């Protein structure tokens, strides 16, 4: 009995409090605002902001990666460029030395050739001189021989008798040689 009254009283007091509160305050609106806003925030986080943030982060990451890659490839190309430059320089030096060498070699070859040609010429000259001398001697000998036969022929004609060629040749030749020396 006592308990019942107490419960009733408290229930009355409760409803009285709520009723008086209701006259002053839109408790329902407050609850609805908070609940709606919370639900909206959670839904948006799941369906809109979360994915969007994900994409933006992904993009930021991608851009960072791209920048890094670009930096790397730039450094690499710089390196390659340096290498190429060095190679080019080397090639240039090589070419220069090759040209130098070739020039030197050409010079030497020319010198050699000239030398050889000169030697050849002088050799040929000598040969020619020798030949000329030989020929001259040959010609002189031939002339001498002819002259001897002619002389014998003339003498035999003059003498009217056959002079043995073999007998007199030596004599005549000696005479001619003497005459040649005397000349």
Partner 1 sequence: MEHTNPERILFGISYNPANIMMLFVTCLIVFIIAVLATRKMQMKPTGMQNFMEWVMDFVKGIIKNNMDWQTGGRFHVLGITLIMFVFVANMLGLPFSISWDHELWWKSPTADPVITMTLAATVVILTHFYGVKMLGAKGYFKTYFQPMPFLAPLKVIEEFANTLTLGLRLYGNIFAGEILIGLLATLAAGSIGGFVGAIIPALAWQGFSIFIGAIQAFIFVMLTMVYMAHKVSVDH
Q: Which residues bind partner 1 (CB under 8 A)?
A: 15, 18, 22-23, 25-34, 36-37, 39-41, 43-45, 47-49, 51-53, 55-56, 58-59, 62
Residue count (the chain):
183
Output b/e per residue, 4-26; b: 16+ Cβ within 10 A. eeeeeeeeeeeeeeeeeeeeeee
What are residue 115's phi and psi, to 5 degrees? -60, -50
Q: Please say which residue, 59 or 178, places its beta carbon nearer to partner 1.
A: 59
In whole angstroms, the minimum distance from the beta carbon of 60 to partner 1 comes to 11
Q: Please say which residue, 21 or 129, places its beta carbon nearer to partner 1.
A: 21
Q: Please say which residue, 59 or 136, places its beta carbon nearer to partner 1.
A: 59
In whole angstroms, the minimum distance from the beta carbon of 73 to partner 1 comes to 21
Q: What is the dihedral of CA 172, 174, 179, 183, to 10 degrees?
A: 150
Residue 148's closest CA among 166, 130, 133, 162? 166
Q: Distance between CA atoms of 124 and 119, rounded to whole angstroms?
A: 8
Q: Please say which residue, 19 or 159, places its beta carbon nearer to partner 1.
A: 19
In whole angstroms, the minimum distance from the beta carbon of 48 to partner 1 comes to 4
In whole angstroms, the minimum distance from the beta carbon of 56 to partner 1 comes to 6
């Amino acid at each position: 009995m006592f308990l019942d009254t107490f419960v009733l009283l408290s229930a009355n007091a409760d409803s009285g409090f709520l009723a008086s509160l209701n006259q002053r305050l839109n408790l329902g609106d407050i609850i609805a605002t908070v609940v709606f806003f919370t639900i909206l925030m959670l839904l948006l986080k799941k369906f809109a902001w979360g994915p969007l943030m994900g994409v933006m982060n992904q993009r930021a990451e991608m851009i960072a990666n791209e920048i890094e890659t670009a930096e790397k490839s730039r450094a690499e190309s710089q390196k390659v460029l340096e290498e190429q430059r060095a190679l080019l320089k080397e090639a240039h030096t090589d070419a220069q030395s090759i040209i130098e060498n070739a020039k030197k070699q050409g010079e030497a070859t020319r010198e050699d050739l000239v030398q050889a040609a000169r030697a050849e010429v002088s050799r040929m000259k000598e040969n020619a001189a020798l030949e000329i001398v030989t020929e001259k001697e040959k010609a002189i000998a031939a002339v001498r021989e002819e002259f001897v036969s002619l002389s014998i022929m003339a003498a035999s004609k003059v003498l009217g008798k056959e002079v043995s060629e073999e007998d007199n040749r030596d004599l005549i030749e000696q005479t001619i040689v003497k005459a040649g020396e005397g000349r």
